[in-house]
Amino acid sequence: MFRIYKHISLLLIIISLFSQVALAAPVVTPVKPVKESQSVSMQVTQPIVQNIRYRQTAEKTRIVFDVTALPQYTATLTEKPDQLIIDFFGSIASVAVPKIQFDNQAITNLQISEIESNKQRVVIDLKAPVEYKIFTLSSPNRIVVDILNNRDQKYEEQIAPGVKYTSLSRTTDAGPISAYIVEMTPGADYKIKPVLSNEKIAGLQRVQSMVEHNHGIVGINASYFALSGEILGLLKMNGQIISTSEVDRTVFGMLPDGKVVMDSVAYSAMVTLLDGRSVVITGVNHERGQDDLILYNPYYNSMTGTNTFGSEYTIRDGKVTDITHGNVSIPTDGVVLAAHGTMEKALADLKVGDAVTITETLGEAWDKAIYAIGAGPRLVKNNKLFLTGKEETFPSDITRGRAPRTAVGVTKEGHILLVVVDGRQDHSIGMTLSELAAFMQEWGAVDAMNFDGGGSSEMVVNGAVVNKPSDGRERLVGDALIIAPTT
């Protein structure tokens, strides 16, 4: 009897041990999304990838790996290049990757390779940063990767009191978009203002250099410009008109009380002679053309650069001090009137010593503006989409199609928005003017206008170029709009 009880006891001990082992066996459960360089372990042996398949919807792209068992893996999301890298651990057999045509906004390519004898790597090339989820299913065994579409990836930074920077990556039905937004609350610490390349009209300069030279913390490209550096639009700085436009176009400006204004603005000027006659001034700081009367002030350059087919009248303290033909020095304490054709004939009686009166106006409201910077077309007016490309006679290369874009807007609270959108690149296809207008509204703009775009579109924050100019480098431009300390 004792021997029987002894054998029964041994049997019970053995049964107990087997029960504990069974309870310790691994249980396959769904895996939460894996964060960067964080792995989830599955205690299995010799998992084999048998097939790779995918399915796309408006919300996501789902990639499914059919496996014989669930392996250990790690998932890492990288930037520059934007990739989702998944490493499978264990004795995984190689499979031929099916040729997948990804026709969505998130993925460009998928590759799988054996990087070690017991590790295979899946590299998913992305068009932009994304959100993703990874989880497992059993019966049959599958590893599922969801790349989520139509999600914004945002990075926000308060770069100064009242100045916030945001970078945004977004997938849309048309393709990926990367945008860069600075929102400024007007206050005593910082001001927004236009600056000239090299502090004069002639010549061009990088936005980054202009921001640095003027001790700015933020800067974007602004006006359209010619290769000579001439500003193709209205520009007023420090209360003085620096450049004019042949066409009345949208202008962004600021009044002495800090109020932002935006409207279509017309320039009007004339010189009045001793006999009471008035002659129209046709422009400021532009190349003198046929039948022109151009006013050159010290913001242009040291010389007018004019040819000998006209007359240049140097004016100081309201009097003609010199008359010459061709390239002439622009006095720091005066201006030069350069006349050609009919305008030269109208001023033919002027002599050295004669008194003249020069009057310029942008209209009562804009004459008070501290600065004004023109470009266009208008995007938003009184919180409604208001595209004026046709009315402002812009060519089709600006009004049509997708492109890198730069814009400025103001919210109902008076906050100023500076916006740059990358374009013509894999990570960002750019925006149409209509999309840009809607985007400005989305960010709260009740009034907004377009600036020069294309390869000129650029934003500098804290000394660094934060966007990716489509030229692959910074373009030399004529001016910039910057945010700088008030002191």
CA dihedral in degrees (280, 283, 285, 291; nearest 10)?
Answer: -70
Both structure tokens of 45? 């042996």
| CA–CA gap between residue 221 and residue 464 (Å, rounded) | 14
Q: 106 in helix, strand or coil?
A: coil
Checking if the pLDDT of 25 tops 70, the result is no
Once rounded to an integer, what is the mean pLDDT over residues 307-315?
Answer: 97
Checking if the pLDDT of 35 tops 50, the result is no
The model's pLDDT over 362-383, given as tens digits with 9 standing for 90+, comes to 999 999 999 999 999 999 999 9
Checking if the pLDDT of 45 tops 80, the result is no
Which phi and psi angles does 329 have, rounded to 5°? -70, 140
pLDDT at 173: 76
Instruction: Single out the residue of 471, 243, 276 nearest to residue 371, CA to CA.
Output: 243
- What pTM was computed for the model? 0.73
The model's pLDDT over 122-174, given as tens digits with 9 standing for 90+, comes to 999 988 778 899 999 999 999 999 988 656 778 999 999 999 999 999 878 78
pLDDT at 55: 85
pLDDT more than 70, % of the chain: 87
The model's pLDDT over 388-425, given as tens digits with 9 standing for 90+, comes to 999 999 999 999 999 999 999 999 999 999 999 999 99
The model's pLDDT over 256-268, given as tens digits with 9 standing for 90+, comes to 999 999 999 999 9
Checking if the pLDDT of 470 tops 90, the result is yes
**How distant, in Å, are the alpha carbons of 64, 74, 141, 163, 396 from that of 137?**
10, 17, 6, 47, 53
pLDDT at 186: 85
Helix (H) or strand (E) holding 346: helix 342-346
478 contact partners, CB below 8 Å, separation of at least 6: 196, 197, 201, 204, 223, 224, 225, 226, 229, 230, 231
Q: Where is pLDDT greater, at 285 or 38?
A: 285
27-31, 63-67, 71-75, 315-319: least confidently modelled range: 27-31
Mean residue pLDDT of the chain comes to 88
Instruction: Single out the residue of 305, 264, 473, 288 nearest to residue 388, CA to CA.
Output: 264
Which phi and psi angles does 14 have, rounded to 5°? -65, -45
Once rounded to an integer, what is the mean pLDDT over residues 345-366?
Answer: 96
State whether the Cα torsion 474-479-483-487 is positive or negative. Answer: positive
pLDDT more than 90, % of the chain: 72
| CA–CA gap between residue 346 and residue 279 (Å, rounded) | 7
CATH of domain 38-148: 2.60.40.3500
Both structure tokens of 405? 């874009």
pLDDT band at residue 106 using 50, 70 and 90 as cut-offs: confident
Once rounded to an integer, what is the mean pLDDT over residues 268-277?
Answer: 96
Per-position b or e across 125-164, b if 16+ CB within 10 A of its CB: bbbbbbebbbbbeeeebbbebbbebebebeeeeeebebbe
Locate the domains of the chain by residue range.
Answer: 38-148, 154-260+369-485, 268-361
